[in-house]
Structure 1
Amino acid sequence: MSASALIAARLDAPRGAVPLQARLSYDGEDPYVVQATFLDGPTVLARWHFDRQMLAEGLHRPVGEGDVAFSPHTAAGGDELRVSLRRYGAEGQGNAVLFVEACALTDFLEQTYAVIGAGEELLDLDGLLDELLAR
């Protein structure tokens, strides 16, 4: 089973906020991960994998360090999640701050909990070991 949602987001840019979409997806086969694809229309700007529990906690308190951090944020339009991203690589480094609607994110997380409840994430270690040994 899986869950997905398209949520309004905005990029905090030097020239002002840039409206984006965040396509969030969750697959019960990888129960700890939420994949976030940030879109400008049909163009994929970036793909990140977030820890589901950390994402949920970020709605209530600052969490994360290093490449990814989340914190609650209140704006004129309502509550949001502030997402701070840092990327290092061969192409250089980059930082981005995005804001995602908290209400829509909460609704998405509820969908994920219908797939696999919070705290019920279990990895099939026997299956994973069998797969690795088969290679």
Structure 2
Amino acid sequence: MSSLIAVRLETDGGTVLLLARLSYAADQPYTVRADFFDGPAVLASWQFDREMLVEGLSRPVGEGDVTLRPHREAGGDGVRIGLRSRADGLEGQAVLFVDVGALTGFLDRTYEVVGEGEEFLDLDTLLQEFLAR
């Protein structure tokens, strides 16, 4: 299942509005995938731990490349997502803001797919797929 939600990217030059497609699948019950779009172009793809997203709604979480924390502003409650990337010798940082209601709605739907505490990772199948490579 997936959802499109609006996000704000804060830059030195101001705010850029983007769309994020959040995806969740039962075969990867701990992972939420986020693809960030500007029009038809995918700017970046990230994977988040579902529980970390849930915790980020109410308290600061994360270290290193991904951090989340609640964020209040005049327009309503949100979540601040900090992303840091190091690739090909380059380092970059992004700060995104997402509406709490949009993120909560998506997370609620993930629990309809795989309930809290019902996550299961089939290690035998995962190992077979890994060894087949």
TM-score over 0.5 (shorter chain): yes
Gaps of 5+ in 1: none
Q: For residues 1-135 of structure 1, what are the structure 2 equivalents within 5 Å?
A: 3-134=1-132
1: distance between equivalents of 2:131 and 2:11? 47
Number of equivalent positions: 133
| Matched letter for residue 71 of structure 1 | R
Q: What RMSD in Å do the two structures reach over aligned CA positions?
A: 1.3
| Matched letter for residue 101 of structure 2 | C
Gaps of 5+ in 2: none
Report the TM-score when normalising by structure 1: 0.93
2: distance between equivalents of 1:131 and 1:23? 27
Report % sequence identity. Answer: 59
Q: How far apart are 1:42 and its partner, in Å?
A: 1.2
Q: 1:133 to 1:85 in 2, by over 3 A?
A: closer
Report the TM-score when normalising by structure 2: 0.94
4+ long deviations beyond 6 Å: none
